Structure 1
């Protein structure tokens, strides 16, 4: 159990109350919890899963593998049908499940892990090689993680993007967003669309919708914690057409039948 807060006296009272009901031991400041390492410095609090990555590479026999700079090949074709033989489904599922847990501190692999997780029931050699490439990428950067530092500015920002028709099997797009609070990354996600989008602008606009919902949720959570955001929430997107649709909801884009879900 992890106890946290900004009132040491209240934490102590809660600790004493729990200790009166259950057998428990105070281990001091948090350093390691469920595979996540916590370290403190003058820059802030950092979270990483270095030991988790090392154990995963040991389990797969990839301690001495050659590292790569990216977790996935450019212009991959994981979604296309393949005549390659199937691999051990149980082994594939265990590896992917462990990589999913690793995304708790490694947001840069969220997209590629979401891709390989789509083939859990019938993985081929191509899909297993994609999983091994992720492990090779992790060898080159085992200490990467998240840094949470104290900043004066009370800001909430979101960044969204989408790959239009990135799934070559059903032509569906995948959206991604990153949410920052006071310059610190707090939530992120890679999500495949439920329907096929007809243009890159539509895919980007749906991505903005997902990001906006997350921003509003974060704002509500902060309000419940007694934290008021003094500045407007910012949402960033690199698609001009999607931005124009968002800024002009009654524009001709909707009247012509190009409305998005």
Structure 2
């Protein structure tokens, strides 16, 4: 074994240390991606995906180069390891890998134009005086096309964003509460995994973890053990969540939609809302001019 000093660069991820904390980014990876695609001189844009995009697969769509599309999306998936700001957009375009059309390639190009606006964006990990574990879960409902919903969750440890996910649900939800409930289950599973990991590292906590949700119906279903028509489709999920609430492992407090940080993982936001979410998540660009 050999001591190579402090970590600075590993598998495309850059590590910068300062008095503020540790900053992770993939700036060189982004610049290489833009150079390889001929997008270094493109016109930048403020958000990775257009609001109300309505992307779906059409029978009469103009086909795109399948190999190029898959390579680009694959590189964007790896980039999303330090860029939660593109997680939703990448999740959407990855759904059409088997049969991409011109509209899907245009969406990928838009992501590249967004990356051009701030290639050095990344995550700042700093000390906040605690090791509390909490998360946010959210869901869209009945999206255009197959009518399946998209789940999204974010988790924080000690005030720092550590994991996130945006993924389309496997089945159609019959109500917005059901869609939110499925997203809540994924968020709780992630919190439990983080709690176990922190325990193995010697950071144990007896206080319940918090998963913030902006759907009052989903919260009431979680707290109410009575079986009824609204929960028969998610009976296993309902019992799982209720067990964790009863054991005081997790709490599901309500958060207003305006403060729902996971919103950016389930839909394309406006420029102002998107920029506001980035600040709250601790996503910065240390390379940006002052």
Q: Distance in 2 between matches of 1:184 and 1:260?
A: 35
Find out whether 1:214 has 2:187 as its counterpart.
no
Query: Counterpart of 1:258 in 2: which secondary structure?
Result: helix
Q: Distance in 2 between matches of 1:31 and 1:139?
A: 23
1:256 alignment partner in structure 2:
229
Change (3 A) 1:214 1:260: farther
Instruction: Between the two structures, name the one with larger relative contact order (CA 8 Å, sep ≥ 6).
Output: 2
1:16-67 CA distance string (max 9 Å, x none): xxxxxxxxx5432110111100000001101000111101011111111111
1:169 alignment partner in structure 2:
145
TM-score, normalisation: structure 2: 0.78
- Of residues 183, 199, 206 in structure 1, which corresponds to 2:175? 199
1:9 alignment partner in structure 2:
none
Given that residues 81 and 169 in structure 1 are in contact (C-alpha distance below 8 angstroms), is that contact kept between their aligned partners in structure 2?
A: no
Structure 2 gaps, min length 5: 235-290
Deviation at 1:257, TM superposition (A): 4.7
**Aligned residue runs from structure 1 range 43-192, under 5 A:** 43-166=20-143, 168-192=144-168
Change (3 A) 1:259 1:65: same
Deviation at 1:230, TM superposition (A): 4.5
Q: Looking at CA atoms only, which structure, 1 or 2, has the larger radius of gyration?
A: 1
Q: Distance in 2 between matches of 1:258 and 1:224?
A: 35
Structure 1 gaps, min length 5: 1-14, 16-24
Given that residues 155 and 230 in structure 1 are in contact (C-alpha distance below 8 angstroms), is that contact kept between their aligned partners in structure 2?
A: no
Deviation at 1:232, TM superposition (A): 2.1
Find out whether 1:225 has 2:198 as its counterpart.
no
Q: Distance in 2 between matches of 1:163 and 1:224?
A: 35
Q: Distance in 2 between matches of 1:237 and 1:223?
A: 25
Q: Distance in 2 between matches of 1:256 and 1:53?
A: 49
Computed over aligned residues only, the root mean square deviation of the Cα atoms, in angstroms, reads: 1.3
